[in-house]
Structure 1
């Protein structure tokens, strides 16, 4: 079977969660003898941060062979950001107008790859496929976030297009009920992300000269909220001189990164809290981690959190955060707390002072990720692809 993975978004060197999932899916399907192609849309030319396996053809709509390169002008970008200040829905329509520049290129990709099924990774991608092009190829649309976050400011045309999907995949069972508030649709399917657990069993209770609280994710205030971790740690740092905070992730949100660095300096934590950037050596990160801290506002299915738990690291997150509040179970594999720095700091402090508690909850974390192992998840995708192609 031929499968096209469509993520019409910037992709070159981009280390987002969706791009990580796409890389894993391409590898898993290739291993199961699918013929896999990938299409994205990026002004840059180059390679993805998360590699694709040999034999997977990668198409960039903005740089197609035999076609003139598509440029996203400064005017387009300025108008999108001006629109965003007044209307998130309007900004999404502006983004879609930019994607429309790649319509002919996308048609060419479909002609060349002749997929039996298309897996769409973002809602604007589905809109282009199902509404603008009106493809007859079965499309499985993935929802990579809490539907309340996806659809609250979603254009009506986007929602209407998604209803033409053969199936819509949700990352949590609870997300199906949420999505049904926005879409009159009968073919939702629950499949979580696969948790690729490194060949490692962490020991978060071991004796170290320096203990580490780790956060992994894009460094951005709207979603990941690393500033709350800094504020929480500042409340307990003086009593725990052998502890540090390591924040890993893409720092493309320059305004937030600048504000975060200022906060770290203001709190006197420049030698205790470190922005580490991106890495492909996650095994090394987990080996040095004692607690995983995840103060996100909302999530779809957080890969970093699930991987940390999968190797046996206890986690702290907020009760209000979708997905996180279904993965973390207090006193079983970590702690869920109320909003704010102080509750977060108390949960961190409880784990920081008790190595046996970290070991106990770390063991619970590892056990709770068993149902998300790759073989379980990719078997579900295998079944869904076969059904969609019929």
Structure 2
């Protein structure tokens, strides 16, 4: 059976969570006997940050063999960003028009890959397949975020296109009811992300001379809000001189990164709070982490949080954050707090001053992630894909 995974988004040097899921799904489905192909879209030429497994065909629809490269043009991007100031929906429509410039490349991928089923990783990708190309190949659409965040500013045409999906996957059971507010659709399927479990054990409950609070995620203010962690840590830093904060993640949001550095400087934390960039060696990161701090505004199914918890690290997050408020169980595997730096700071203090509590909550975190181990999740995907193919026959 031929399976095509499509994520029409930049990928060269880009370490997004969706791209991580795609890489792992490609390997898992290949291991289960599928002939897997991957299609992505980047004006730059190069390899994805997360590798495409050996034996999986990879296509960049902006650079297809035998076809002229597709260049979107600066004017298109400037117009899109200008539109975004007044209408997020309008900006998404303009972004879709940019994507359609590579429509011929996507058609060529379908000819070469001959998929029996397609898995779409983003809403504009599904729109291109189901509206732009009108393909009759069954498409499973993935929703990688809280539906309220995805669809609040989604164009009507995008939503109507997704309603033609053979199935729509959501990351949390509660997301089905949310999605039903926006889509006239009856084939939602709950499958969470697979939690990668590095072969390391957290030292969160051990006696040490040096301790680390870790955050992992794109360094950006709209979603991840690392500034709240800096503000919270500044309230307790003087009482815990042997503690530091490491912030790992892509720093492409230059304006926010500059503001974050300014905040760190203003709190005199240059030697205590570190922007570490990206890494492929997450096992080393988790091994030294005592607390995972995750002040996100919204999430779909956060890979970094779930991975940290799976190796036994207690976590702190906001009660208002979707998905986080279902993965963290307050007082059992971490702490959920109300909005603002002060409540976050109080939770950090509680964990920082109690080694035994860190160890106990860390063990609770490890146990709570077992339902999301890879075999169970990829088996669910295998069943969904086979069911979709059988229905198509």
* TM-score bin (small chain): over 0.9
Q: Which residue of 1 aligns with 2:168?
A: 168
Once the two structures are TM-superposed, the CA of residue 150 in structure 1 deviates from its matched residue by 0.1
Q: Calculate the aligned-residue CA RMSD, in Å.
A: 0.5
Q: Which residue of 1 aligns with 2:283?
A: 283
The whole-number CA distance in structure 2 between the counterparts of 1:256 and 1:200 is: 32
Q: Which residue of 2 aligns with 1:150?
A: 150
Q: 1:100-119 maps to which residues of 2 (within 5 A)?
A: 100-119=100-119
Cα deviation 1:351-375 (Å, max 9, x = unaligned): 0000000000000000000000000
Cα deviation 1:321-379 (Å, max 9, x = unaligned): 00000000011000000000000000000000000000000000000000000000001
The whole-number CA distance in structure 2 between the counterparts of 1:221 and 1:315 is: 20
Q: 1:325-364 maps to which residues of 2 (within 5 A)?
A: 325-364=325-364
Q: In structure 1, the residue corresponding to 2:270 is in which secondary structure?
A: coil
Once the two structures are TM-superposed, the CA of residue 248 in structure 1 deviates from its matched residue by 0.1
The whole-number CA distance in structure 2 between the counterparts of 1:205 and 1:327 is: 21
Q: In structure 1, the residue corresponding to 2:85 is in which secondary structure?
A: helix
Cα deviation 1:202-256 (Å, max 9, x = unaligned): 1201122210000000000000000000000000000000000000000000000
Residues 228 and 340, structure 2, Cα contact 8 Å, conserved in 1: yes
TM-score (norm 1): 1.00
The whole-number CA distance in structure 1 between the counterparts of 2:257 and 2:132 is: 37
Q: 1:17-96 maps to which residues of 2 (within 5 A)?
A: 17-96=17-96
Q: In structure 2, the residue corresponding to 1:233 is in which secondary structure?
A: helix
Q: Which residue of 1 aligns with 2:265?
A: 265
Once the two structures are TM-superposed, the CA of residue 194 in structure 1 deviates from its matched residue by 0.1
Q: Which residue of 2 aligns with 1:139?
A: 139
Unaligned regions of 5+ residues in structure 2, if any?
none
Once the two structures are TM-superposed, the CA of residue 3 in structure 1 deviates from its matched residue by 0.4
Q: In structure 2, the residue corresponding to 1:51 is in which secondary structure?
A: coil
Q: 1:298-317 maps to which residues of 2 (within 5 A)?
A: 298-317=298-317
The whole-number CA distance in structure 1 between the counterparts of 2:113 and 2:103 is: 16
Q: In structure 1, the residue corresponding to 2:209 is in which secondary structure?
A: coil
The whole-number CA distance in structure 1 between the counterparts of 2:21 and 2:141 is: 14
Moved more, 46-55 or 219-228: 46-55
Q: Which residue of 2 aligns with 1:379?
A: 379
Q: In structure 1, the residue corresponding to 2:148 is in which secondary structure?
A: helix
Residues 203 and 288, structure 2, Cα contact 8 Å, conserved in 1: no
Unaligned regions of 5+ residues in structure 1, if any?
none
Q: Which residue of 2 aligns with 1:242?
A: 242
The whole-number CA distance in structure 1 between the counterparts of 2:171 and 2:288 is: 29
TM-score (norm 2): 0.99
Once the two structures are TM-superposed, the CA of residue 201 in structure 1 deviates from its matched residue by 2.1
Q: Which residue of 1 aligns with 2:178?
A: 178
The whole-number CA distance in structure 1 between the counterparts of 2:370 and 2:201 is: 13
